[in-house]
Amino acid sequence: MSFKPLLYLLIFSILSIPVNAQTDSLFMKQKKEKTFLQKAILPASLIVGGSLLSGSHFEKDFQREVRHIVGNNYAFEIDDYTLYVPIVEMYAADALGVQSKNHWFDQTKNLVIANIVSDYITFKLKIWTKKRRPNGDDDLKSFPSGHTSRAFTNAGILYHEFIDTSPFLAYSGYAFATTTGVFRVMNNAHWVSDVIVSSGIAILVTELVYLLDPIIKWNPFKNTKGISFIPRIDNEHYGFYLSMNF
């Protein structure tokens, strides 16, 4: 009997907590809009819970069991790409005319700000904690997961932009973010606590960015047509592509 399906289900269940909570928030919104502090409960819980789990016997046993099931030589690096899918979805939806919360420039602004802040927090924690990866790499930058942080940050932006007009699209980003976290664990690049804490950081940062969004309303392209502005974000660089139609 193969235990791989059960493993996928278990890890997805752990990392789907943010998605389930965001679903609950949609129904709550119909009754009353949550305050920022209420929205911060979930990510704060993920950060605290994941931190307490870090380095525990359970975490080590869990990782050992994961590798036993998938095989010690298992490697499928789809997680290097799935973290960017929510960005592609957002701009594709814009190009297709799907109504969003903000203008494309404001989307991009929020996306860049959220990624910069999430990256700063994530990589500072990597330096401070010096946690070794389960694969034994000497870089001592396991906690938290940069891939997962970026994936959930990108998914959070997509969620905020389309939750009111296209819920399926809004939630799809979290599916790809969860997939990213799952494969970081399965590929032995991260412990499960690394990805749980990362998802909490990303969700909290994204909520903060949209809380402050009405304050930062600068948009030089608000009334300009025929301009496309797409960010380039990878593991080492931030950049932009700008095109104009005459």
Based on the number of CB atoms within 10 Å of its own CB, is 175 exposed (0-12), middle (13-18) or buried (19 or more)?
Answer: middle
- Domain layout of the chain by residue ranges: 4-244
> Span 96-116, mean pLDDT?
94
Give yes or no for residue 133 having a pLDDT over 70: yes
| pLDDT tens-place string over residues 32-85 | 778 889 999 999 999 999 999 999 999 999 999 999 999 999 999 999 999 999
Give me the pLDDT at residue 1, please.
Answer: 43
- DSSP class of residue 233 equals E
| Distances 86 to 120, 162, 199 between C-alpha atoms, Å | 20, 11, 15
Structure tokens that stand for 221 in this block: 């392209």
Of 178, 181, 157, the closest CA to residue 169 belongs to 157
- Helices then strands, counting H and E runs in the chain, come out as 10, 2
Residue pair 140/121 in contact (Cβ under 8 Å)? The answer is no
State the average pLDDT for the chain. Answer: 85
| pLDDT tens-place string over residues 12-36 | 555 555 565 555 555 545 557 788 8
Q: What is the pTM of this model?
A: 0.83
Give me the pLDDT at residue 211, please.
Answer: 94
Residue 12 CB neighbour total at 10 angstroms: 15
Residue pair 25/172 in contact (Cβ under 8 Å)? The answer is no
